[in-house]
Structure 1
Amino acid sequence: MDAQAKLLQVDHPKETNGIAAIKSHAELIAAIFSGLLILAGWLLDKNGAQTASIASYVLAFAIGGFAKAKEGIEETIADKELNVEMLMVFAAIGSAIIGYWTEGAILIFIFAVSGALETYTMNKSHKEISSLMDIQPEEAWLVKSGAEERVHVSTLSVGDFILVKPGERIPADGTISKGQTTIDEAAITGESLPVSKQVDAEVFAGTVNITGSVYVEVTKPSSETLFQKIIDLVQSAQSEKSPSQLFIEKFEGTYVKFVLTAVAVMMFLPHFALGWSWTETFYRAMVLLVVASPCALVASIMPATLSAISNGARHGILFKGGIHLENLSNLQAIAFDKTGTLTQGKPEVTDVIVRDGLSTSELLSTAASIESQSNHPLAQAIVRYTKGKNVPYSAPDQLEDVSGRGVRGIANGKQWQIGNADFVGQEAAHAFAGGKARELATSGKTTVFVKDEYGIAAVIALKDLIREDTKKALELLHQEGIYTIMLTGDNETTAKAIAEEVHLDTFIAECLPEHKVDHLKKLIGVHQTVAMVGDGINDAPALATANIGIAMGEGSDVALETADIILMKNDLPKIAEAIRLSKKMKRIVKQNVIFSITVIMLLIISNFFQVIDLPFGVIGHEGSTILVILNGLRLLKS
């Protein structure tokens, strides 16, 4: 079993902590016991008990080398190809054959210790996903007919009501039906500050209810919660290998064959060409087996990749695989959807300009009265604004919806029209308030006109407000040398105003979903590696077309499924953070590869000139392996 498969094993939940701890440290315990047997063998040899000494060494071989030999043999049979574990086994057996029992045993001991440390350090990079799995609630208080019953979360159904008490983890995704509280959502979003939640607010499984008792209506079964999706995504990402890792593993098989060929030549050539003794020739061939083994090279990439994926998961950035994390370091350009990505996704009233002699409160009361029965986003924004100003309004006496243009209604005994310029009369609309509507439109705002029996009564300007962190996110991307583009369905004027406000490099307006795909293909032709950031169903084709699809965590399920990277908290600056993480991983991998190859070459040269013996060769070889793993684990840090 390779280290990655071993990493993804999960202890059986019914095992006690003691048994689980022993199992997780079995390799290290065997290595230590092997070391004690080697010490005993050496002491027996010093006291002339050679037979007992050899017996002790054989036990050390068997106990210390069992795990690695078993792993090597199983992989060789499965892959039909020799691997580095088999090289170590051959070297140890060869050393024993020529009487170097101590050196062979030390090789097995250090190799066993190295393997145990590798397993330990790899498990350390798996800590985030393990801790996520540990905090999954298993039971919930189901409320049925006024009574509370403790049930397993797997039995909960959509529509059930559950009680969550202070200090408990929320067991299922849902909405609050009664009560209010503050919730720690760090497990989902990475945000350390608690969030206040009221009735109708959405809550997620795995988060912690801090202050008040709340009743929650379940909206998703336990297998489909956002929390479970995070676990599934991270597990999937950690089991998927990056292109570099796949190349190294493919290279390993060829390299092992080359080493075995070189060792076979080394067993004979130096004896005839350089006059070495047969014992020295064979011994140097065994040393070559050890020092030329590509353990450090093989371990150069995977620990770094897993550490970076775990780091991202801890900070609200989910990578669906090492390939996407690796590709991010090559990113040249990034395209953004506008609505819900660069902007908040819902329009807000920014200006209300009324006709002389008419009060703003009176106008808003009438407008909200008529718009209150419309589902149009602009209508809802006007109603929200009116409520926010504490202006009362009532239901209209009559209402007619004119599709695509506006609404016509009667309120307070008077006829009103609310809609676009075409609906109320373009000439009058553009002339109102000295042409103020044109000025508002130029600044990227949408204008809605209110008309009564006397003509245009008011113009209300609305805007899909820019997210607070959008400018910061784009500034960080520019610092990384990334070219930024906005793809939006808005008209040219609105798109230009927004692009200038947030400092985008360029924009493409009036894009339908299929147009976004076409534009992305053209961008890829120019910039090679292009990412797309979106949140809606209509963004899914573009997310799939881009080299890297990045979805907002609060977006549609289709966008989440299609994307390669997910920002759990809709935090745009995290994109630049992910790019820096990817570039740092690339640097560390490069350091590891150069270092491991350099050490292998130095050890091979030292062996040829007979200045290094087997124990030091083992220390140099295994030490370099441990160092590259620890270097990769630096990515676990923020």
Structure 2
Amino acid sequence: MEAEMNRVAEVHTPKESRLEKIKPHAELIAAILSGVLILIGWILEKNDLTTASIVFFLFAFVIGGFAKAKEGIEDTIENKELNVEMLMIFAAIGSAIIGYWTEGAILIFIFAMSGALETYTMNKSHKEISALMELQPEEALVVTNGIEKITAVSDLKIGDLILVKPGERVPSDGRIVKGQTHVDEAAITGESIPVSKGIDEDVFAGTVNLNGSITVEITKASTETLFQKIIQLVQSAQSEKSPSQLFIEKFEGTYVKVVLAVVALMMFLPHFLLDWTWTETFYRAMILLVVASPCALVASIMPASLSAISNGARHGILFKGGVHLENLGHLKAIAFDKTGTLTKGKPEVTDVFVLEGLEKVEILLITASIESHSTHPLANAIVLYAKKELQKPLMTLDSIEDVSGYGVQASIKQDNWKIGKANFVGKAEADAFLNGVATKLSNEGKTVVFAKKNDVIVGVVALKDVVRDETKEAIKTLRKKGIYTVMLTGDSQSTASAIAAESYVDEFIAECLPENKVDELKKLKERFGQVAMVGDGINDAPALATANVGIAMGEGSGVALETADVVLMKNELPRIAEAIKLSEKMNRIVKQNVIFSISVIMLLIITNFLQFIDLPFGVIGHEGSTILVILNGLRLLKSN
């Protein structure tokens, strides 16, 4: 019995699989089959086989129009309001009543084709999510006391250790505790170049471990991973409609009622007022029913919006909805957080000065050796710089003491050393060192660390949160687009001035606390109207929410990602210009579609009233315009 059931399962599984593959194309197949039936019906009609031709036309009506008719009837019942689909049903039935079976069937055929194209757009858009979901593994190899066990990703807990072998995808967000490798992060950032990863560095679910086994400690639940957030963002973006789309949908209901009312009047008024025959009057009323339907207008926005959202997701730019995508193209100003947005967010050594007659290499080596015992970010930056520049092992200390808030003091070969602030080594002596070089460095927005040997300052190390390599180019591009740029920072006036000059922003506002950022955003909105905010930290979240469009850097805090309207999955500012370009292109295509569709409707209505157009051309003109606006919107899928 069990064997028989297995055989049945084997027989049915491929069939079910084939059905699943065919299902997304069902509307297109129905439309094509409808077209074939129309062709057969037309041939039969030409050979005077009228009854047989009507049978084929009826089949064409049912097969081609079923999906749209079902959608129209269900929406009408649910919303208690007539829609475009119902207009098409009435038009097709009306054509058949007056004996224009071929034209009615062609109307259904082209309407079915336009519906299939809309479905294709939706499927293409949803495929982006499906492709993302398929990238996340369902199982992970958990290591407990040296024993490996395959576990479902949904059962992983924070703190679990998992082994990720070369060629495997990382199952969940975590931190490397053992091993070195290169990781392909294209699924997260859209960047194809692999990233080198070592101990204490983060890895993300869905990324690919390329060439080394790594042990990863899970840091987030499977439902809270960055990968899951991306999927949720894309899903919410596809369901949220732009203001233009909402307006068109609201307009559609009123328009349909007006069209039906006008068609009802046209069924008898021209007969009495213009001396048309009853046949001509009814015929022109049916043409009006066909050509006045706003199918092209309704299809002007949604395919373009979905295509743009899918395109952005593919390039690492996530829009949380059509409203934000549309607004992005109307920006007049952008405010930037400094740390981690315009700058790298980590201090780097920029200058090293020592007393004349002393070896810079020796002073830097001793300074780094002492700082290696501190966890301060400035100390870490000095150690990293020394290791990279000197390629020498650090020295052993005789003693070390951390003086909280000031610096570190140590003993090396009976010499006493102090590394830290000016007040720690002597303010007057620090200001006078090398003719006031420290003051000059501070005016450039740099932080100065002094090195004092016994009773003499022997060197200074200058550090700065340096501007990202791509920042200048990104700001230049935005300025060319006529967008005003502002930097908001909590730093001092001197530091802010130096960074602003280096990054080419139009304006900067220094000593800006999180609540001040919100106030400054409100002022910018009063000055410019549409304003965006770009940030990455928890302190940026209120400002991101206040701006017309909040843009978060993908490597930023979770709060920033949740609050923002647009997320750049890779910390690259030039992608803002790409997102704006995509938005502008979408808005341009939507405008083209709306103008084109309204123009076609008006032209067809006028030519029908003047009795210049017949039903076949009315059908082709109306439904052809619908297909054209959908195809125009689909261009955004391929846009770079």
Work out whether the TM-score is over 0.5.
Answer: yes
- The aligned amino acid for 2:223 is S
Residue in structure 1 matched with residue 235 of structure 2 by the alignment: 235
- Find the counterpart in structure 2 of residue 168 from structure 1: 168
Give the one of 390, 394, 399 matched to 1:392: 394
Whole-angstrom CA distance in 2 between matches of 1:508 and 1:42: 73
Q: Distance in 2 between matches of 1:356 and 1:53?
A: 103
2:502 paired residue number: 501
CA–CA separation in structure 1 for the residues paired with 2:314 and 2:376:
38
Partner in structure 1 of residue 458 of structure 2: 457
**CA displacement 1:43-76 (0-9 Å, x = unmatched):** 4445555444434333332222221111001111
Report the counterpart of residue 312 of structure 1 in structure 2: 312
Q: For 1:541 and 1:387, how far apart are their aligned partners in 2?
A: 40
Which range moved further: 477-486 or 35-44?
Answer: 35-44
Confirm or deny that 1:431 pairs with 2:432: yes
The amino acid that maps onto 1:103 is: E
Contact 1:370 1:396 in 2 (8 A): no
List aligned pairs for 1:389-538, cutoff 5 A: 389=390, 390-395=392-397, 397-403=399-405, 405-538=406-539
Q: Does 1:150 align with 2:161?
A: no
Match of 2:258 in 1: 258
- After superposition, what is the alpha-carbon deviation per residue over 1:80-104, rounded to whole angstroms, capped at 9, x for unaligned? 2111000001111122223333322
SS at 2:136 equivalent: coil
Corresponding residue of 2:8: none
1:159 paired residue number:
159
**What residue is the counterpart of 1:624 in the other structure?**
625
Residues 1:512 and 1:411: Cα distance change in structure 2 (over 3 Å):
farther
Instruction: Determine helix, strand or coil for the equivalent of 2:177.
Output: strand
Structure 2 residue 180 is matched with structure 1 residue 180: yes
Question: How far did residue 411 of structure 1 move?
Answer: 4.8
Q: Could you tell me which residue of structure 1 aligns to residue 323 of structure 2?
A: 323
Letter in 1 for 2:464: K
- For 2:361 and 2:398, how far apart are their aligned partners in 1? 17
Task: Determine helix, strand or coil for the equivalent of 1:625.
Answer: helix
Within the alignment, does 1:267 sit opposite 2:267 as a pair? Answer: yes
Residue aligned with 1:490, SS: coil
Aligned-pair CA distance for 1:214: 2.6
Distance 1:32 1:454 in 2: 91
How far did 1:464 drift? 1.0
Task: Provide the residue aligned with 1:582 in structure 2.
Answer: 583
The residue type paired with residue 346 of structure 1 is: K
More moved, 54-63 vs 572-581: 54-63
**Counterpart position of 1:634:** 635
1:292 and 1:442 map into 2 onto residues whose CA distance is 69
Provide the secondary structure at the position in 2 that maps to 1:449: strand
Name 2:84's counterpart in structure 1: 84
Question: Aligned-pair distance for 1:40?
Answer: 4.1
Q: Deviations over 1:143-175 (max 9, x none)?
A: 334343333322222222222233222222222
Deviation >6 Å, runs of 4+: none
Cα deviation, residue 37, structure 1? 3.4
How many residues align? The count is 625
Deviation at 1:396, TM superposition (A): 6.1
Matches within 5 A, 1:100-119: 100-119=100-119
**What is the alpha-carbon distance in structure 2 between the residues aligned to residue 127 and residue 227 of structure 1?**
16
Deviations 1:168-217 (A, max 9, x none): 22222222233322222111111122222223332222122222333322
In the other structure, the counterpart of 1:4 is none
1:348-367 correspondence runs (5 A): 348-367=348-367
1:396 and 1:220 map into 2 onto residues whose CA distance is: 42
CA distance in 1, matches of 2:429, 2:46: 110
TM-score, length basis structure 2:
0.93
CA distance in 1, matches of 2:50, 2:581: 59
Aligned residue type for 1:21: K
The answer to whether the 8 Å contact 2:132/2:231 transfers is yes
The 8 Å contact of residues 118 and 303 in structure 2, kept in 1 or not, is answered as no
Q: Could you tell me how far apart the structure 2 residues matched to 1:394 and 1:522 are?
A: 55
Counterparts of 2:88 and 2:590, CA distance in 1:
24
Partner-residue secondary structure (3-state), 2:193:
coil
Q: Distance in 2 between matches of 1:466 and 1:14?
A: 57
Tell me the CA shift for residue 467 of structure 1. Answer: 0.8
Q: Tell me how far apart the structure 2 counterparts of residues 140 and 400 of structure 1 sit (CA, whole Å).
A: 43
Please state whether the residue corresponding to 2:374 is helix, strand or coil: coil
**Maintained 8 Å contact 1:361/1:391:** no
Counterparts of 1:204 and 1:379, CA distance in 2:
28
The letter for the 2-side match of 1:401 is V
Q: Which stretch shows the higher mean deviation, 556-565 or 38-47? A: 38-47
Structure 2 distance, partners of 1:433, 1:563, is 47
User: Offset of 1:287 from its aligned partner?
Assistant: 1.1
1:316 shift after superposition: 1.1
**Structure 1 stretches of 5 or more lacking a match?**
1-12
In the other structure, the counterpart of 1:68 is 68
Query: Structure 1: which amino acid aligns with 2:239?
Result: S
Answering whether residue 373 of structure 2 is matched by residue 373 of structure 1, we say yes
Deviations 1:455-474 (A, max 9, x none): 32322211111111111111
Of residues 568-577 and 364-373 in structure 1, the stretch that sits farther from structure 2 once superposed is 364-373
Distance 1:418 1:15, change over 3 A: farther
Cα drift, residue 452 of structure 1: 3.9
CA distance in 1, matches of 2:153, 2:270: 69
2:190 maps to which residue? 190
Q: Indicate if the aligned counterparts of 2:34 and 2:59 stay in contact, CA closer than 8 A.
A: yes
Displacement of 1:542: 1.4
8 Å contact from structure 1 (residues 107, 614) kept in 2:
no
Corresponding residue number in structure 2 for 1:592: 593
Q: Structure 1's 436 and 161: CA in aligned 2 closer, same or farther, altered over 3 A?
A: same
Where 1:25 maps in the other structure, the secondary structure is helix
Q: In 2 relative to 1, CA 98–397 (structure 1 residues): closer, same or farther, beyond 3 Å?
A: same
Deviations 1:470-505 (A, max 9, x none): 111111111111111111111111111111112111
**Contact 1:448 1:459 (8 Å CA) reproduced:** yes
Q: Quick check: 1:611 aligned with 2:584?
A: no
User: In the aligned structure 2, how far is the partner of 1:35 from the partner of 1:130?
Assistant: 32
User: 1:369 touches 1:411 (CA, 8 Å); kept in 2?
Assistant: no
TM-score normalized with structure 1 length: 0.93
Quick one: distance in 2 between partners of 1:331 and 1:35? 46
Q: Cα deviation per residue 1:113-156 (whole Å; 9 max; x = unaligned)?
A: 22123212442344433322232322223333434333332222
Partners of 1:631 and 1:38 lie apart in 2 by 27
What is the alpha-carbon distance in structure 2 between the residues aligned to residue 214 and residue 16 of structure 1?
A: 39
Secondary structure of 1:232's counterpart equals helix
2:300 corresponds to 1:337: no
3-state secondary structure, aligned to 1:346: strand
Alpha-carbon spacing, 1:516–1:146, altered in 2? closer, same or farther (3 Å): same
Q: Which residue of 2 aligns with 1:133?
A: 133
Residue 4 of structure 2 corresponds to: none
Task: Give the Cα separation in 1 of the matches to 2:32 and 2:497.
Answer: 68
Q: Is the 8 A contact 1:418 1:450 kept in 2?
A: yes
Return closer, same or farther for 1:331/1:395 CA change in 2, 3 Å cut-off: farther
Contact 1:398 1:411 survives alignment (8 Å): no
The answer as to whether partners of 1:184 and 1:210 remain within 8 angstroms in 2 is yes
After superposition, the Cα gap between the structure-2 partners of 1:162 and 1:20, relative to the gap in structure 1 and judged at 3 Å, is same
How does 1:530-569 map onto structure 2 within 5 Å?
Answer: 530-569=531-570
> Any stretches of 5+ residues in structure 2 without a counterpart?
1-12
* Structure 1 residue 367: Cα displacement: 2.9
